[in-house]
Amino acid sequence: MRLVTGNDLITGDVTWWAGREWSRHVAEAVDAGTDAEAIAQREEAALRVNAPYIVDAAPSPTGPTPLHIKDRIRATGPTVRPDLAVKPADASVGSYQI
């Protein structure tokens, strides 16, 4: 199974080719098959997506699952939990010297 992915030109969101339009949800992605390269070129030329590329995926009950870890992360969002981020006002955080 071959998916086409890229980034939305306005928001920068990760997008997936859903057959007639782009979706932010990998579960809505469709198998582009042998047309994947043509779809990517056409959509980039039409300025609907930035830097599209082809992703190998496997079908699953919840929709396609990208095979490469990078694309699985892109599909599910950031790996850093916001509640664990260091806040600028956190006095317990020391400064770093370079």
Q: What is the pTM of this model?
A: 0.78
Tens of pLDDT along 36-88? 999 999 999 999 999 999 999 999 998 999 999 999 888 887 666 655 433 55
Listed as own residue / partner, the contacts of 24-29 with beta carbons closer than 8 Å and 24 or more positions apart are 25/63, 26/63, 26/64, 26/65, 26/66, 26/75, 26/76, 27/62, 27/63, 27/64, 28/63, 29/3, 29/4, 29/5, 29/57, 29/63, 29/64
- Residue 13 — very low, low, confident or very high, per pLDDT cuts 50/70/90? confident
